[in-house]
A and B are shown apart, each in its own frame.
Chain A
Amino acid sequence: MTEAISKGHIVIDHVGVRFGRNASAVDAVTDVSMEVKPGEFVSIIGPSGCGKSTLLNVVAGFVNPSTGKATLDGKPVEKPGVDRGMVFQQYSLFPWMTVRKNVEFGLKMQGMGATHREEAARTLLGLAGLLSFENHYPDQLSGGMKQRVGIVRALATSPQVLLMDEPFGALDAQTRVVMQEILTNMWQRFRISVMFITHDIEESIFLSDRILVMTARPGRIKAEIVVPLPRPRTPEMIGTPEFGALVQQLRALIREESLAAMGGELKDGGLGGFEIDVGPKGMAELV
Chain B
Amino acid sequence: MHAITRPAYEEEAVPAGTAEGGASSASVPRAAAAPIAARASAPSVALARTVAWLGMAIPRLLWAALSLGLFIGAWHLATEYRLDFYIRFVNVPGPTEVLGNFSDMLNTSRYYEHVWFSMRRILIGFGIAAALGVLLGLLIGQYKPVRNLLFPVFEVLRPIPAIAWVPMAVMLWPTNETSIVFITFLGSFFPILLNTIHGVGSVDPVLVRAGRCLGAGEAALLRQVILPAALPHIFTGLAIGMGVAWVSLIAAEMISGQYGVGYFTWEAYSLIEYADIVVGMITIGVLGLACSGAIRLVGNLMMPWLPASAGGGK
Tell me the nearest residue of chain A to B30, going by C-beta.
A178
Find out whether the CB atom of A145 lies under 8 angstroms from the CB atom of B9.
yes
Does any Cβ of A come within 8 Å of B229's Cβ? Answer: yes
Does any Cβ of A come within 8 Å of B2's Cβ? Answer: no
Bitwise, B1-15 to A at CB < 8 A (1) or not (0) is: 000001111111011
Tell me the nearest residue of chain A to B24, going by C-beta.
A234
A93 and B220 alpha carbons, distance in the complex (Å): 16
Does any Cβ of A come within 8 Å of B228's Cβ? Answer: yes
Find out whether the CB atom of A130 lies under 8 angstroms from the CB atom of B214.
no
Q: Return chain B residues, CB-CB under 8 Å to A172.
A: 11
Stretch from A15-23, A179-187, A271-279 forming part of the interface with B: A179-187
Find out whether the CB atom of A82 lies under 8 angstroms from the CB atom of B17.
no
A94 and B30 alpha carbons, distance in the complex (Å): 29
Find out whether the CB atom of A174 lies under 8 angstroms from the CB atom of B225.
no
With A82-B213, A106-B215, A141-B9 known as contacts, the answer to whether A94 contacts B22 (CB < 8 A) is no
Q: Return chain B residues, CB-CB under 8 Å to A132.
A: 35
Nearest-CB distance from A60 to chain B (Å)?
A: 7
A88 and B31 alpha carbons, distance in the complex (Å): 25
Bitwise, B191-218 to A at CB < 8 A (1) or not (0) is: 0000000000000101101111111110
Does any Cβ of A come within 8 Å of B58's Cβ? Answer: no
Nearest-CB distance from B208 to chain A (Å)?
A: 10
Q: Return chain A residues, CB-CB under 8 Å to B24.
A: 232, 234, 236
Does any Cβ of B come within 8 Å of A157's Cβ? Answer: yes
Find out whether the CB atom of B17 lies under 8 angstroms from the CB atom of A142.
no
Q: Lowest 4 CB-CB distances: which A-B pairs, in order? A: A129-B15, A185-B21, A106-B214, A109-B215
A157 and B21 alpha carbons, distance in the complex (Å): 21
With A80-B209, A84-B213, A86-B210 known as contacts, the answer to whether A175 contacts B21 (CB < 8 A) is no
Instruction: List, sorted by A's number, 11 A–B pairs whose CB atoms are closer than 8 Å.
Output: A80-B212, A86-B210, A86-B213, A96-B228, A109-B217, A109-B220, A129-B15, A142-B11, A153-B214, A157-B215, A172-B11
Contact of A140 among B8, B211, B228, B231 (CB under 8 A): B8
Nearest-CB distance from A269 to chain B (Å)?
A: 40
Contact of A96 among B8, B14, B220, B229 (CB under 8 A): B229
Contact of A128 among B9, B15, B30, B228 (CB under 8 A): B15
Nearest-CB distance from B310 to chain A (Å)?
A: 11
Does any Cβ of B come within 8 Å of A248's Cβ? Answer: no
In chain B, positions 261-314 with a C-beta closer than 8 Å to chain A are: 303-305
Bitwise, A163-182 to B at CB < 8 A (1) or not (0) is: 00000000010110011011
Find out whether the CB atom of B11 lies under 8 angstroms from the CB atom of A144.
yes
Find out whether the CB atom of B210 lies under 8 angstroms from the CB atom of A182.
no
Find out whether the CB atom of B225 lies under 8 angstroms from the CB atom of A94.
yes
Nearest-CB distance from B312 to chain A (Å)?
A: 15
Nearest-CB distance from B222 to chain A (Å)?
A: 13
Nearest-CB distance from B147 to chain A (Å)?
A: 22
Find out whether the CB atom of A234 lies under 8 angstroms from the CB atom of B231.
no
Contact of A88 among B21, B206, B217, B229 (CB under 8 A): B206
Q: Return chain A residues, CB-CB under 8 Å to B209.
A: 62, 80, 86, 88, 92
A94 and B228 alpha carbons, distance in the complex (Å): 9
Range, interface on chain A: 35 or more
Does any Cβ of B come within 8 Å of A114's Cβ? Answer: no
Q: Return chain A residues, CB-CB under 8 Å to B11.
A: 142-145, 172, 174-175, 178
Does any Cβ of A come within 8 Å of B149's Cβ? Answer: no
In chain A, positions 211-244 with a C-beta closer than 8 Å to chain B are: 232-236
Find out whether the CB atom of A189 lies under 8 angstroms from the CB atom of B15.
no
Q: Return chain B residues, CB-CB under 8 Å to A81.
A: 213, 215
Tell me the nearest residue of chain A to B20, going by C-beta.
A185
Does any Cβ of B come within 8 Å of A139's Cβ? Answer: yes
Tell me the nearest residue of chain B to A105, going by C-beta.
B214
Find out whether the CB atom of B215 lies under 8 angstroms from the CB atom of A181.
no
Nearest-CB distance from B41 to chain A (Å)?
A: 16
Q: Return chain A residues, CB-CB under 8 Å to B18.
A: 127-129, 182, 185-186
Further 4 A-B residue pairs, CB within 8 A, beyond A142-B8, A142-B9, A175-B11? A84-B213, A129-B18, A232-B22, A234-B28
A30 and B182 alpha carbons, distance in the complex (Å): 59
Find out whether the CB atom of A185 lies under 8 angstroms from the CB atom of B225.
no
A246 and B6 alpha carbons, distance in the complex (Å): 44
Q: Return chain B residues, CB-CB under 8 Å to A232.
A: 21-25
